[in-house]
Amino acid sequence: MIEYQVQTMAAKVGDLPRPKKNYLNETKGFWSWAGTLDHKRIGVMYLVGTMFAFLLGGCFALLIRLTLLTPTHKLFGKVLIDAETYNRVFTMHGIIMVFLFIIPSVPAALGNFVMPLMLGAKDVAFPRLNLASFYLWVTGALMAITAMVLGAVDTGWTFYTPYSTTTDGPVTLMTGAAFVLGFSSIFTGLNFIATVHKLRAPGMGWFDMPLFVWGIYSTALIQILATPVLGITLVLLMLERNFGIGIFDPRIGGDPVLFQHFFWFYSHPAVYIMILPGMAIISELIPTFSHKTIFGYRAIAYSSVSLALVSFIVWGHHMFVAGQSQLATVVFSALTFLVAIPSGVKVFNWLGTMYKGNISLDTPMLYAIAFLILFTIGGLTGIFLGTLSTDVHLTDTYFVVAHFHFVMMGGTVTAFLGGLHYWWPKMTGRMYAEKWGRVACVMYTIGFNMTFLTQFFLGAKGMPRRYYNYLDQFQPLHAFSTVGSWVLGSSLFLTAAYLLASLRKPADAPDNPWGGTTLEWHCSSPPITHNFEEQPVVEREPYDYRPVKHA
Amino acid sequence: MEWLRNLMLPAQGSAYAGEIDTVYMSLFWLSVVLFLGIAIPAVYFAWRYRYRPGRVTPHVTHNTVLEIVWSVLPLLLCVGIFFWGLKGWLEYAVAPGDAMEIQITARKWNWAFEYPDGSRDAGTLHVVVNKPVRLIMTSEDVIHDFFVPDMRVKHDIIPGRYTEEWFTPTVMGQHLFTCAEYCGKGHSDMHGTLIVESQQDFDNYIATGGTEWEAYKGHMADWGKIQWERKGCNSCHSIDGSRSKGPSWKGIWHKMEKMRDGQVVLVDEAYIKESENQPQAKIVEGFEPIMPTFQGLIKPHDFEGIVAFIQSLGTQQAQQAPQTQ
Amino acid sequence: MSTTPIDLPHGAQGAHDAGHGHGDVDPHFQHHFTTMEQQNDTAKIGMWLFLVTEILLFGGLFVGFGLMQGRYPREFVEAHTHLVRWQGSLNTIVLLFSSFTMVMAVDSAKKNKPSKTVWYLVITIICAFVFLFVKYLEYSHKFEEGWYPAKWYRGVGDAIPGSHGYATFFAFYFMMTGLHGIHIVVGIGLLSWILMRARRGEFSSAYYTPVDLVGLYWHIVDMIWIYLFPLYYLIQ
Ligand code: HEA
Ligand code: HEA
Ligand code: CUA
Ligand SMILES: [Cu+2]
């Protein structure tokens, strides 16, 4: 039955006889979704939720860019928004993108759907906990939206004290939302670790797992080890704000810098919660579309885990000029460079995989190539920031803004889009319009660079971040960046449009449209409720493209 | 490559800036090389090995030598970059003993400076060319950050502690400084001018508050306008009638201003003086008590200028004044 | 790289078996596992991971305490002397004893002795209440003296200008013991739930995972106290 067919985009109905019932149509009605324990349905619900968050965060982003079009913020003679509103807008943009969108998007949405399939399991280890995580996410989202309706907060996504303990607005509610979302993330991580440990298909050793699973596993490690610290930090912040507990308040002997240590102890590892799943997707896309086995499997697997571990000891690089001790500053800078090595290892291994491959440039692969380019820029500019003397000049400028959009958006979101297209046929049973996919991907890359490449120049020239007003000299670059954001935004709306349009067609996706070798391509598209007709047994390496046929 | 540096980085105002720029530009070129080393193969492979039906790809799982090379080489590069960055930073970390010490107090959204002799000023910082200055900084409310792009220095200013930064200005003239840590509504207006001048001009400024104002004798309102910008009044008070963090100065002279607690006060010289020294004494209705005190920061002729300036912005509402008690 | 297919234990093939409780299968068996043993192991891994997050939750506070102690060494040491050592010691003993009874509860469940399980659980719960009662005494003493956390602090040291250390100390004291207290309360809830189920005779040598897991939780709550106790009561 299992044959590694090599084909691109052949929109023909798949190899397996298509089962009448699949996870989408087996049961119907609102409650069959709201109460489902099926990891695939939970994944889909997460996907819908996080996409709404992305849309909302993206609209705030477009508003930021529109405001910064001119230094006077005037559009048709009217001031668009005032400084206070601007501060709220970028704070909401940051909070929504980080806590509601990017952290759950790949692991909880795509990971939930794909990982058990890849392991040949019927579900995650704790299906009920999985559903509970989802509802925690919903609760957090509702809290955040309530806070937004109540006037939103203007603390920045970093909640630095003492600003956050003294400013007006529903800061406690927003902090509470982040707290709840944190627990959602912890439970997802816990669930996934247990799943990987105990639910691998017979015959699947640790080094037979697809690299996506390694990436998600490493992510989960960070989720359970770092997020509790965020939890306690946010609790302290709430206590501080409402009861003056005084730990961060210099007037009664506290230390505002302590908050920053706590915050970054979580939030630096959190940036690897964001990128590792992205890298995990790329490690799937490149071998599949190169039709070639992954180069350096073990190196990539180990680099995921080592990134996860190293990420815990570099948080101080966010505080080089923030008043931590000078010794700490030096040590954190040195450690920061360590993360470049495993990241580089991955990049080089991906290139090694493409070398002498048989590369089909379908949309997911285009995104993977865009990822290689954008992430490298983002990562290399991280080196500018990790270098002590240059960071002093660059920190808290648009250079940092550009850096983190290159890694978060250019890295993770790009990979996410690649993954979304890659697994779309599996999830929905439908092929999307390939031509539009390629158009959107090219537009996305151009728009992205217009928006954010310019910001490196702004930042190096001395444009501080979180600025509502700016000097006239910066206007040309800001305006260019704004125009770029329209190109970028259009490409995403286009993507949403053709993906949604594909849902209206009858199911046409083959079981294995891309010729993938991992287990999720061995079940039907869309999969049946319990995933596999027969318990799969693993007999080959995960990315084996040698043309061996066996029954 | 001078033009490229000028394109990317601000003007150099200190010797230190030159050093940082060398590191920056080297990193830039290194990144360009590494980036091309990745982007070119990625695109080339995608084209060179583009899909051909039926082609079988080699089954190469790894290559230990290659993998060691591409782990160790970047590591060595990174070690090198680290030490180079450290070297520049160490220079910035320790101020020379003979530096002139200036105290900075930051508050929402304004700067106050105190020179070694105890004289004080707001908004504009004067320093002597080629003489190291050490800034000892603290904040009255939230975290701010003193950033001088031309000097390539920056450090957070934290309530409840003193932090430092230093530089040696080498280029005379005006340089921008600005707040680089988010501090709320007025964060992006919290900037001012650093004036690098000769020792003589500096001494003169300290002794008399500068002689610049003498040029404005007879038209003090213009001098007042300069003070409005320099002292940072402009970050909260507009002069065109539009509402900002504080009331606009347009048309307030001799106005009967209504206060929060209901009393009505005539805006005259004494009231402006009080607003400047004890802004919290009387709060204009509809505004928050956020104006910081400028006690000791405004020299007599500067004050004279401000009053003249406010006067010059019109008194059209004065007639309505008597209606109230 | 294993290439040989593995002999699957019985039940693995039944992919269509959505089976919550078919015939001879344990009613607690969930369909996505292959064997009951696998299911129990998985549950235990889950619990251990959760406990790791608990430790990190407290870990943040311990680190914060350490840093602040470094900043106010004199005040912290002096503030320590205001804690009543016998109360802390008594509570340590009570909790250690409850840990022991918890072990016994798990053990008797494993050995098919449901009535013993019930009794051990009851004792454990009583210990938890004793602990809370002592905490109540402790807190009310602190409140009487005005040793509130942070900005409400009204006790000794107040008069020394700038010596905020006392206030900070009590802020940490109340947060850490308070958070621990909340865990005890949650523990009481969990223990009671297990107690009910044990009384209904749900546990046996074949299935006692919930008792085991609550036991793990209870031990970690004890263990955290074992760290809190020397940190607050023994340092002088
Ligand atoms: C997905 C998220 C993500 C990722 C992956 C990264 C990756 C990295 N980041 Fe980034 N970072 C953020 C998200 C991320 N960052 C965010 C959100 C902020 C700002 C938060 C805020 O303040 O709001 C930030 C801020 C930030 C700072 C603080 C800046 C400041 O405020 O002053 C620093 C400083 O060191 C830094 C460094 C790095 C480094 C060294 C990497 C490395 O991991 C990069 C490694 C990758 C490469 C280097 C490229 C590939 C490697 C090679 C091609 C090998 C050869 C390379 C060499 C020899 C150098 N980041
Ligand atoms: C994942 C993280 C993420 C992402 C994706 C983005 C995306 C974008 N960001 Fe964001 N940004 C942050 C995280 C992110 N940002 C953070 C953490 C901060 C710091 C906040 C702070 O300082 O506190 C920040 C700050 C920040 C600033 C600086 C503000 C300041 O300092 O004053 C700017 C300015 O240009 C900006 C712009 C943008 C733009 C134009 C996009 C665009 O790329 C957005 C384009 C997206 C859309 C237009 C939505 C389209 C979506 C759909 C149509 C939904 C359906 C889609 C599909 C199914 C495909 N961002
Ligand atoms: Cu002061 Cu920003
Ligand atoms: Cu970081």
| A122, A233, A541 ranked by CB distance to C60: nearest | A233
C-alpha to C-alpha distances, A210 to A58, A117, A368, A544, C78, nearest whole angstrom: 32, 11, 17, 11, 57
User: What is the number of the ligand 2 atom nearest to the C-alpha of A409?
Assistant: 5
Of all helices (H) and strands (E), which one includes residue A484?
helix A475-502
Q: Which ligand is nearest to the CA of B72?
A: 1
CB–CB of A228 and C13 under 8 A?
no
* Closest A-chain CA to C149: A245
| A197, A229, A539 ranked by CB distance to C5: nearest | A539
* Closest A-chain CA to B41: A351
- pLDDT confidence bin for A380, thresholds 50/70/90: very high
Residue C227 lies in a domain: yes
Residue B181 beta carbon below 6 angstroms from any ligand 3 atom: yes
How much is the pLDDT for A12? Answer: 40
CATH code of the domain containing C179: 1.20.120.80
CATH code of the domain containing A84: 1.20.210.10
Of all helices (H) and strands (E), which one includes residue A298?
helix A297-310
- Work out the widest C-alpha separation in chain B, in whole angstroms: 97
Residue B157 beta carbon below 6 angstroms from any ligand 3 atom: no
For chain A, the average pLDDT equals: 90
Query: Which residue's alpha carbon is at the smallest distance from atom 53 of ligand 2?
Result: A493
User: What is the number of the ligand 3 atom nearest to the C-alpha of B190?
Assistant: 1
Question: Residues C52-63: what's their mean pLDDT?
Answer: 88
Number of domains into which chain C is organized:
1
Closest Cα in chain A, distance from residue C74 (Å): 14
CA–centroid distance, residue A390 to ligand 1 (Å): 14
Burial level of C200, CB count in 10 A (0-12/13-18/19+)? exposed
Helix/strand/coil percentages in chain A, nearest 5 = 70, 0, 30
Distance (Å, whole) CA A314 – CA A328? 10
CA–centroid distance, residue C78 to ligand 1 (Å): 44
Residues B151 and B186 in one domain: yes
Do the Cβ atoms of A225 and A273 come closer than 8 Å?
no
Residue A409 beta carbon below 6 angstroms from any ligand 2 atom: yes
Residues B131 and B153 in one domain: yes
Model confidence at A495: pLDDT above 90? yes
Model confidence at B58: pLDDT above 90? no
Least confident interval from A318-322, B135-139, B274-278: B274-278
Place of tokens 């402790």: C138
Burial level of B218, CB count in 10 A (0-12/13-18/19+)? exposed
* Closest B-chain CA to A79: B242
Domain that holds residue B45: 2-93
Model confidence at C143: pLDDT above 80? no
- How many angstroms from the chain centroid is the CA of residue A472? 35
- pLDDT confidence bin for B318, thresholds 50/70/90: very low
- pLDDT confidence bin for A6, thresholds 50/70/90: very low
Closest Cα in chain A, distance from residue B234 (Å): 13
CB–CB of A390 and B20 under 8 A?
yes
CA–centroid distance, residue A268 to ligand 3 (Å): 24
> Who wins on pLDDT, A517 or A415?
A415
Domain that holds residue A89: 2-549
Distance (Å, whole) CA B159 – CA B143? 6
User: What is the number of the ligand 3 atom nearest to the C-alpha of B180?
Assistant: 2
Q: Which residues, including other chains, have CB under 8 Å from residue B64's CB and lie 6 or more apart? A: none
Tokens of A49: 């939720």
CA–centroid distance, residue A353 to ligand 1 (Å): 25
Does residue A326 sit at the B interface (CB-CB below 8 Å)?
yes
Residue A181 beta carbon below 6 angstroms from any ligand 2 atom: no
Query: Which residue's alpha carbon is at the smallest distance from atom 16 of ligand 1?
Result: A404
Q: Which ligand is nearest to the CA of A386?
A: 1
Do the Cβ atoms of A27 and A528 come closer than 8 Å?
no
Tokens of A261: 């240590």
Residue C148 lies in a domain: yes
| Amino acid symbol at B99 | A
Residue A160 beta carbon below 6 angstroms from any ligand 1 atom: no
Does residue A207 sit at the C interface (CB-CB below 8 Å)?
yes
Angle at B84 between CA B79 and CA B89, to 5 degrees: 125
Model confidence at B131: pLDDT above 80? yes
Place of tokens 């050490």: B134
Model confidence at C163: pLDDT above 60? no
How much is the pLDDT for C5? Answer: 38
pLDDT digits (tens, 9 = 90+) for A416-427: 999 999 999 999
Distance (Å, whole) CA A11 – CA A13? 7
Number of domains into which chain A is organized:
1
| Amino acid symbol at B148 | V
Torsion of CA A116, A119, A124, A125, to 10 degrees: 180
CB–CB of B185 and A83 under 8 A?
yes
Torsion of CA C88, C89, C95, C100, to 10 degrees: 170
| B27, B59, B84 ranked by CB distance to A546: nearest | B59
C-alpha to C-alpha distances, A172 to A101, A155, A228, A422, C234, nearest whole angstrom: 21, 11, 18, 40, 36
Domain that holds residue C184: 50-233
Does residue A447 sit at the C interface (CB-CB below 8 Å)?
no
Residue C18 lies in a domain: no
For chain B, the average pLDDT equals: 87
B61 contacts on A by Cβ (under 8 Å):
293-297, 541
Burial level of A78, CB count in 10 A (0-12/13-18/19+)? exposed
Query: Which residue's alpha carbon is at the smallest distance from atom 37 of ligand 1?
Result: A382
CB–CB of C164 and A252 under 8 A?
yes
Q: Which ligand is nearest to the CA of B108?
A: 3
Distance (Å, whole) CA C183 – CA B68? 49
SS3 B98: coil
C-alpha to C-alpha distances, A25 to A539, B64, C32, nearest whole angstrom: 32, 49, 20
CA–centroid distance, residue A380 to ligand 1 (Å): 8
| Number of Cβ within a 10 Å radius of residue B4 | 11
Model confidence at B324: pLDDT above 90? no
Do the Cβ atoms of B302 and B209 come closer than 8 Å?
yes
Q: What residues 246-285 of chain A have any CB closer than 8 A to a CB of chain C?
A: 246-247, 249, 252-255, 258, 261-262, 265
pLDDT digits (tens, 9 = 90+) for A13-25: 445 556 678 888 8
Query: Which residue's alpha carbon is at the smallest distance from atom 1 of ligand 3?
Result: B144
CATH code of the domain containing B60: 1.10.287.90
Residue A66 beta carbon below 6 angstroms from any ligand 2 atom: no
| B74, B79, B85 ranked by CB distance to A344: nearest | B74
Residue C8 lies in a domain: no
C-alpha to C-alpha distances, A538 to A3, A283, B126, C15, nearest whole angstrom: 14, 19, 74, 16
The DSSP bridge partners found for residue B177 are B192
Residue B283 lies in a domain: yes
Distance (Å, whole) CA A85 – CA A153? 9
Residue A229 beta carbon below 6 angstroms from any ligand 2 atom: no
Residue C12 lies in a domain: no
Alpha helices in A150-255 (DSSP H): 163-166, 171-198, 211-243
Residue B235 lies in a domain: yes
Distance (Å, whole) CA B86 – CA A330? 7
> What is the total residue count of chain A?
551
Residues B206 and B106 in one domain: yes
Distance (Å, whole) CA B163 – CA B146? 10
The phi, psi pair for C29, rounded to 5°, reads -75, 130
Distance (Å, whole) CA A67 – CA A84? 12
Closest Cα in chain A, distance from residue B173 (Å): 18
Do the Cβ atoms of A485 and A451 come closer than 8 Å?
yes
| Amino acid symbol at C184 | I
pLDDT digits (tens, 9 = 90+) for A273-294: 999 999 999 999 999 999 999 9
- pLDDT confidence bin for B323, thresholds 50/70/90: very low
Number of domains into which chain B is organized:
3
Residue C43 lies in a domain: no
* % chain B with pLDDT above 70: 96
Residues B195 and B259 in one domain: no
pLDDT digits (tens, 9 = 90+) for A74-83: 777 778 888 8
Does residue A341 sit at the B interface (CB-CB below 8 Å)?
yes
| Number of Cβ within a 10 Å radius of residue C28 | 15
Q: What residues 119-138 of chain C have any CB closer than 8 A to a CB of chain A?
A: none
Residue C44 lies in a domain: no
Residue B223 lies in a domain: yes
Tokens of B129: 């060319």
Residue B325 lies in a domain: no
| Sign of the CA dihedral running A199, A204, A206, A208 | negative
How much is the pLDDT for A437? Answer: 94
Q: Which ligand is nearest to the CA of B157?
A: 3
Residue A412 beta carbon below 6 angstroms from any ligand 1 atom: yes
Residue A459 beta carbon below 6 angstroms from any ligand 1 atom: no
CA–centroid distance, residue A255 to ligand 3 (Å): 19
| Amino acid symbol at A215 | G
User: What is the number of the ligand 3 atom nearest to the C-alpha of B182?
Assistant: 2
> What 3 state SS string does B185-230 have?
CCHHHCEEEEEEECHHHHHHHHHHCCCHHHHHCCCHHHHHHHHHHH
pLDDT digits (tens, 9 = 90+) for C109-126: 888 888 888 899 999 999
Place of tokens 């230190």: B16
CA–centroid distance, residue A460 to ligand 3 (Å): 19
Q: Which residues of A434-445 are buried (b: 16+ CB within 10 A; e: fewer)?
A: eebbebbbebbb
Q: Which residues, including other chains, have CB under 8 Å from residue A212's CB and lie 6 or more apart? A: A111, A114, A115, A118, A280, A281, A283, A284, A518
Query: Which residue's alpha carbon is at the smallest distance from atom 45 of ligand 2?
Result: A58
Residues B245 and B273 in one domain: yes
The phi, psi pair for B277, rounded to 5°, reads -90, -45
Q: Is the pTM of this model over 0.90?
A: no
- pLDDT confidence bin for A137, thresholds 50/70/90: very high
Q: Which residues, including other chains, have CB under 8 Å from residue A254's CB and lie 6 or more apart? A: A240, A246, A247, A248, C150, C164, C168
First to last CA, chain A: 5
| A84, A464, A547 ranked by CB distance to B180: nearest | A464
Residue B115 lies in a domain: yes
Q: Choose among A184, A190, A216: nearest CA to C46.
A: A190
Q: Choose among A383, A154, A177, A453: nearest CA to B142.
A: A154
How much is the pLDDT for A161? Answer: 86
How much is the pLDDT for B261? Answer: 86
Residue B21 lies in a domain: yes
Residue B324 lies in a domain: no
CA–centroid distance, residue A238 to ligand 4 (Å): 24
Closest Cα in chain B, distance from residue A469 (Å): 5
Query: Which residue's alpha carbon is at the smallest distance from atom 16 of ligand 2?
Result: A94
Distance (Å, whole) CA C12 – CA C32? 9
- Work out the widest C-alpha separation in chain C, in whole angstroms: 78
Does residue A464 sit at the B interface (CB-CB below 8 Å)?
yes
Question: Residues B78-96: what's their mean pLDDT?
Answer: 87
Does residue C202 sit at the A interface (CB-CB below 8 Å)?
no
Closest Cα in chain A, distance from residue B28 (Å): 8
Distance (Å, whole) CA B92 – CA A389? 8
Residue C209 lies in a domain: yes
Do the Cβ atoms of B240 and B249 come closer than 8 Å?
no
| Amino acid symbol at A466 | R
- pLDDT confidence bin for C33, thresholds 50/70/90: confident
Does residue B219 sit at the A interface (CB-CB below 8 Å)?
no
Of all helices (H) and strands (E), which one includes residue A369?
helix A363-386
- Residue-by-residue DSSP string for C96-123: HHHHHHHHHHHHHHHTT-HHHHHHHHHH
Distance (Å, whole) CA A25 – CA A231? 39
CB–CB of A256 and B159 under 8 A?
yes
